[in-house]
Amino acid sequence: LDVEDSLGMAADVGVLFRLLDNRVGVGVAAQNLGFLDTEEDLPMNVRGGVAYQIRTKPSPDDPTPRDLLALVADVNVPIVGGFPTFHVGVENWFYDVVALRLGYNIGQGENPGKGMTFGVGLRHKGEASLENVNFQFDYAFVPDKDVGDAHRISFITRF
């Protein structure tokens, strides 16, 4: 790779629908839409998924319901060649600060990939001058048959 170079451009496009008082989310996305100036193609795919949130009941001290548990599933379908992959998982937020996640990947085709995934998340709502800014940190462990075990880290800010 150190002697190869190329030029390309890509984008992802998606839509998310929230239904049933935000308890159900249904989304679809087209990923890696674009081009490279080489003979190889980008790994374009279409991904669709659904999530269902089970909420806790409000208490007299806190009348707002909190999301407690989310059940999720998605399918990833390559546009050119390849085989679809399926993912299922569960996420639980504790005190609206710490999340624990557990999932399972199912791949098809000549080299089926299967494996358990897990992750954690931390989030904090801003205070004082940052009161409208939210921060979130996520970590996930994902086994991958091609590159070995992967550690995914992300940082999100919402304002």
How distant is the alpha carbon of residue 61 from its chain centre?
33
Q: How far apart are the first and last CA of the chain?
A: 39
Residue 100's pLDDT is what?
94
Distance CA 124, CA 122 (A): 7
Contact 142, 150 (CB under 8 A): yes
Q: What is the pLDDT of residues 20-45, one digit of tens each?
A: 988 899 999 999 998 888 888 888 99
Q: What is the pLDDT of residues 72-86, one digit of tens each?
A: 999 999 987 788 889
Taking the whole predicted model, whether its pTM rises above 0.85 is answered as: no
Give the three-state DSSP class for 19: strand
Q: Give the mean pLDDT of 96-114.
A: 77
- HEC secondary structure over 84-136: CEEEEEEEEEECCCEEEEEEEEEECCCCCCEEEEEEEEEEEECCHHHCCCEEE
